[in-house]
Amino acid sequence: MKKIIINITVLLCCGMMAHAQSTTDNAAIDNELLAPFRNWTTTELVKGGRIDAIRQLEGPVMLCATRGLNRGKLFISNDHGNTWRFLARPTDAEITCIAETGRRNEFYILTGKAEVFGTQDGGKSWQRLIRLTEQQNSQRYTSAYAIMHTGNGTLLATDTDEKGGHIYRSTDKGRSWNDMGAVAKKALYRLEKTGNGIVVNGWDGTIYKSTDDGITWNRKQQLADTPLFATEYMGMGKLLQADQAGDLYYSTNLGDTWKRTGNLTDAADDFVNAGYGAVYYSTYTGKREVYVSIDFGRSWRSIGKVPTGVEGDWLDHGIRTETADSIFIVAGTAKGFIIRNAISKQWLSATIDHFNRKDLSVGAKVLPLSALMTGYLTDPLALNEPEDILYHEGFAYIPCRDGNNVAIIDCRDPRKPVLAASLRDESISDAFSVAIKDHYLYVLSMTNHCVSVFNIKDPAHPQKTAAISVGGKGSYLSTYDSDYTRLRKICIEGNYAYVTHSSESKVYILDISRPERPLIVSSFHTGDGAFAALARNNVLYLAGYGPGSSVIAVDVSDKAKPVIKNRVLDTTLLKGTCALALSGNKLYVTAYNANTFWTMDVTAPFALQTDSYIKHPGMKGPGRVAIKGRMAYVLNSTNHSVAAIDVSDPRKPEVKFYLQDPLLRTVYGIAIDGDYLYLAGRQASSFVVVDLRKVAAALAVQ
């Protein structure tokens, strides 16, 4: 194996040729921005062996496979792609795709002949499981390009039948397969996970999507008359596609609708999501250049060709892996090289925000998180877009939307939080909210409009008890450009659960006295959205974000006939009400779109008397709120901060300080227990424990 360290200066000169007409200032900005994206190391792994398949098996363990003259070979890395060794040659056919399971010993490969091979011992032994199809298209290109292992343990594969690409499905580790039929009008290409489902593209230029683990597929939109090849999910609802004609497309609603964003002339090959909104894009015809975007794919800058020095080479397929402080981009090339880049998360986070002119200022004192933090962990798989945190008896339960799971973290030792379990089940796609009663965990699935019940006597081994469908698909909401924003929040008081349904603007009341058989008692319309919910003493408080602008008090003493008793509506100052917290006789409210924090007196529970509201320069997109003593902690996902607000005088709340750190990037989850504040960052895939005693000490000396 031959390893080359590339001279960045040379690459900078080459890369800027595409911007020769830019002004000096623009060129300097591009140089500064793009230099770290070009900092490749290059390893010649297999001469003449095209590397078009590469996946992360588990942690730092990666696997790549070859096509071309040296086809059928597998190489493994145990250090995020820095070094490689030969693993096996299970076939003499070209290997077009790898399906990883999250377990390094179990993975699957797909060949160009549509054969599936599997291993259960890390590649020591192999079983040829099936040849999916005998079809050979008239152009004699590869018979199959994609295989995927879904979060539910299902294997999916595509073929290139020119009369209509088929999807194949296995639920028993590839031992038996079902042909789900022709999904498209022409051949299919790649599968891509997209949070609440899976999309597939192909030669008819159309996107198809499944939200039921590959059983059924719906046509979403035809983007082009030419084949779609490159596909990548960027997280937080954003998805990219590019076609053979060099046109690029962008979706902000999990692939439901699309817009064309531009053209880069040469045929698309692959995207590689670098995180935080940064993404690589490669082309395989013409100049065969690599491009970088740092605004989720809306604009692009060339960084030149792959740095292998081999004529006609291009970036064929790549992936991202990460550690707590670094991101690694590892890609295979058409001439048998591995190219690798390591990027600092802190640098990338700051660069993305600076380039996109995001105002991160808070206009107040910022306490250093590192000095206050007692423990943390990052896990891009288990903490894939965390939505909130529920703390219960030493464990944090974190519903994760893109992960379609609930991360269960053992934080009995706050200095060393560890993942106890990652709860996955087909009923909790797009997990959005959780609640606990006794030793039962209730998990709300937004897309499936389903509430599932799990026994958590042993939090490390939750057992499913029941599931119930709540409501229907609901209406299309322009706020989200979709109809999949269905179930939102669940709260429990006594033997009843209250579930909000956003796209129906309704609340459902469930009898959970028998956890194995939850029943819907009643439902009612709010008249102004349905998002956050909080119940106490038969009074239900509601906030209706998307499109709500109100706080509502509901008498639920008669569960069959709930009655709305009061409403505070303000389409300006309460626009986007999204979070509630109760402490004593005070109700605390945040309004995401209005950037406001409210204190209301509920001594008379239905009165909703406003004590005060405040706006502060640092409160940008205020969301979840938690109370500890005289302090309210408010998350601000837009500028990655937590505001600490002194509410000892409810008529004059005062912002005392902020927490702000890359570990809190797009901070979304919050909980407090005793002296500890628990936080979760969406884009940071993080769980952070803050010692509030350290906070008090830091404030005392300032």
Q: Could you say which DSSP state residue 477 is in?
A: B
- Cβ contacts of residue 593 below 8 Å, gap of 6+? 575, 576
**What is residue 29's predicted lDDT score, i.e. its pLDDT?**
58
Cα 223 to Cα 204: distance, rounded to the nearest angstrom: 9
Q: Closest Cα partner for 586 from 636, 541, 638, 641?
A: 541
User: By mean pLDDT, which of 156-160, 162-166, 186-190, 546-550 is the weakest?
Assistant: 546-550
Check if the beta carbon of residue 530 is closer than 8 Å to that of residue 544.
yes
**What is residue 26's predicted lDDT score, i.e. its pLDDT?**
60
Q: How confident is the model at residue 483 (pLDDT cuts 50, 70, 90)?
A: confident
User: Would you call 523 helix, strand, or coil by DSSP?
Assistant: strand
Q: What would the mean pLDDT of 396-409 be, rounded to a whole number?
A: 96
Element (H, E) at 353: helix 345-355
Q: Average pLDDT of the chain?
A: 93
User: By mean pLDDT, which of 169-183, 345-359, 585-599 is the weakest?
Assistant: 345-359
Which tokens go with 644?
Answer: 């600490």
User: By mean pLDDT, which of 140-144, 262-266, 529-533 is the weakest?
Assistant: 140-144
Which tokens go with 587?
Answer: 């109700």
Q: Give the tens place of pLDDT for each residue, 432-441.
A: 999 999 999 9
The answer, yes or no, to whether residue 473 has pLDDT greater than 90, is: no
Q: 270-308 burial, b if ≥16 CB within 10 A, otherwise e?
A: bbbbbbbbbbbbbbbeeebbbbbbbebbbebbbbbbbbb
Check if the beta carbon of residue 351 is closer than 8 Å to that of residue 344.
no
Which tokens go with 338?
Answer: 């591995």
Q: Give the tens place of pLDDT for each residue, 296-341.
A: 999 999 999 999 999 999 999 999 999 989 999 999 999 999 999 9
**What is residue 138's predicted lDDT score, i.e. its pLDDT?**
72
Q: Could you say which DSSP state residue 18 is in?
A: G
Q: What would the mean pLDDT of 559-583 be, rounded to a whole number?
A: 97
**What is residue 27's predicted lDDT score, i.e. its pLDDT?**
64
User: By mean pLDDT, which of 87-96, 452-461, 542-551 is the weakest?
Assistant: 542-551
Q: How confident is the model at residue 493 (pLDDT cuts 50, 70, 90)?
A: very high
- Cβ contacts of residue 305 below 8 Å, gap of 6+? 14, 287, 288, 289, 290, 313, 314
Assess if CATH 2.60.40.10 describes domain 35-354: no
Assess if CATH 1.10.10.60 describes domain 359-701: no
Stretch(es) of the chain classified as CATH 2.130.10.10: 35-354, 359-701
Q: Closest Cα partner for 588 from 574, 578, 599?
A: 599
Cα 73 to Cα 50: distance, rounded to the nearest angstrom: 10
Tell me, what amino acid is at 181?
Answer: G
**What is residue 59's predicted lDDT score, i.e. its pLDDT?**
94
Q: Give the tens place of pLDDT for each residue, 619-649.
A: 999 999 999 999 999 999 999 999 999 999 9
700 phi/psi in degrees, rounded to 5? -65, -30
Cα 10 to Cα 598: distance, rounded to the nearest angstrom: 56
Report which of residues 702 and 384 the model is more confident about: 384
Q: What would the mean pLDDT of 262-290 be, rounded to a whole number?
A: 97
The answer, yes or no, to whether residue 15 has pLDDT greater than 50, is: no
Q: Closest Cα partner for 400 from 367, 337, 446?
A: 446
Q: How confident is the model at residue 415 (pLDDT cuts 50, 70, 90)?
A: very high
The answer, yes or no, to whether residue 667 has pLDDT greater than 80, is: yes
Measured at the CA of 202, the angle between CA 197 and CA 208, to 5 degrees, comes to 30
Its pTM stands at 0.92
Q: 480-496 burial, b if ≥16 CB within 10 A, otherwise e?
A: bebbbbbbbbbbbbeeb
**What is residue 211's predicted lDDT score, i.e. its pLDDT?**
92
Q: What would the mean pLDDT of 173-180 be, rounded to a whole number?
A: 98
Cα 514 to Cα 306: distance, rounded to the nearest angstrom: 61
The answer, yes or no, to whether residue 475 has pLDDT greater than 90, is: no
Q: What would the mean pLDDT of 228-237 be, rounded to a whole number?
A: 96
Measured at the CA of 289, the angle between CA 284 and CA 295, to 5 degrees, comes to 110
Q: 388-417 burial, b if ≥16 CB within 10 A, otherwise e?
A: bbbbbeebbbbbbbbbbbbbbbbbeebeeb
The answer, yes or no, to whether residue 586 has pLDDT greater than 80, is: yes
**What is residue 463's predicted lDDT score, i.e. its pLDDT?**
98
